[in-house]
Structure 1
């Protein structure tokens, strides 16, 4: 039977509340993006150089073993740069790029790896981006706290009327009936480290001390209860 009394009755008064919770936790993952660049006047030589340097970077990352959570190759490009010569155009040089992303669980290894990668020629390192795993227990924890806060709030209202809660009739996330498009929030602060181009005397690579950025989680729930009729 369809409920025709969404707001309750004198015999079954309803109470609607929401519960919220905020939680700050340490990140579980740190991601960095490595962009390898190469250029040359010969297409095959440029491609060979890019392949060699890409393999070197991947092999370097893999030496960190279990500290690496994911390792993926993203975009790859090899683009001819044209210049006018007389009445026509000719290829002046070739620019190659390959982008690699990796996530680490060991933040001590992260600082060392970032330093070693940034010391490579024509290599750019962006990051880190701090995050939690999709199945992190922290998400369940903050949702549980939001539910508990809703129940506590409802009991306080019932206590103010000198009555008690009789039953829970609805518990939902805001917008559960009309979900809005998802979004991806920022993973935290990031930095860019670009390695110098070839030439000149090499300088000592600075050690990087990367401090993890704590993650802020938020949960909100809507709850409806039936109260025992109060004596007013």
Structure 2
């Protein structure tokens, strides 16, 4: 529809910025094994994996997702000598756990970090894709666009008459969605249960942006 003096158009942008508590936290778990025998290294890594999975699964419904990633067994070759010889084998296995209970998260993270040859990465805080917060941010952006258009029309001494189109422009977040904490441990002589790590969830920043085009009654200029 082409704007005319009898049917002028007004185009505005609506924006919303919402802060809310996270719903999920994700941690990365890297298990390591090393030995001179390839099969023994793989068996050691398999044992560590079973121990880790059993520990994570004890947290029940607090764990929403538990996934196994890449498995690597890499030979380490000697640097000296006439021929290439395998000095050792290094094994790595990556797991990812996603939790919805942040008290359980702190306890689990501490217990995992206390295991031998185990590295923890994270947590990364986030919202579910279906979180009501996304809907709230989008609705606030639409309300902002309508309010802006009405204010411009009011400044011209007229009113809006119809909505022509509404476009969701999906701006990029201006803040990261999570903060990473990195820990590496190789076990300890002390067998006492470690103190639970106190984690402070990082608030999530949601952004929504729309572009709206309206018609308005001809102003008296």
TM-score by length of 2: 0.94
**Alignment correspondent of 1:191:** 181
Superposed displacement of residue 192, structure 1: 1.0
Superposed displacement of residue 203, structure 1: 6.8
Q: How does 1:143-158 map to 2 (within 5 A)?
A: 143-158=138-153
Give the secondary-structure state (helix, strand or coil) at the position aligned to 1:93: strand
Please, which runs of 5 or more residues in structure 1 have no aligned partner?
Answer: none
CA contact (8 A) 2:177 2:205 kept: no
**Alignment correspondent of 1:170:** 165
Which of 204, 209, 221 does residue 210 from structure 2 map onto?
221
Superposed displacement of residue 84, structure 1: 4.6
CA distance in structure 2 between the partners assigned to 1:203 and 1:193 by the alignment: 19
How many residues align? The count is: 220
Superposed displacement of residue 201, structure 1: 4.8
> CA deviation digits over 1:161-202, x for unaligned, max 9?
121110000110238xxxx9x99x84311111111356x555
Give the secondary-structure state (helix, strand or coil) at the position aligned to 2:4: coil
Matched, 1:49 2:38: no
**Alignment correspondent of 1:128:** 123
Matched, 1:102 2:97: yes
Give the secondary-structure state (helix, strand or coil) at the position aligned to 1:88: coil
**Alignment correspondent of 1:74:** 69
Give the secondary-structure state (helix, strand or coil) at the position aligned to 1:89: coil
Q: Structure 1 115/95 Cα, relative in aligned 2: closer, same or farther at 3 Å?
A: same
Superposed displacement of residue 75, structure 1: 1.1
**Alignment correspondent of 1:27:** 22
Superposed displacement of residue 134, structure 1: 1.1
CA distance in structure 2 between the partners assigned to 1:153 and 1:128 by the alignment: 39
Please, which runs of 5 or more residues in structure 2 have no aligned partner?
Answer: none
Give the secondary-structure state (helix, strand or coil) at the position aligned to 1:154: helix
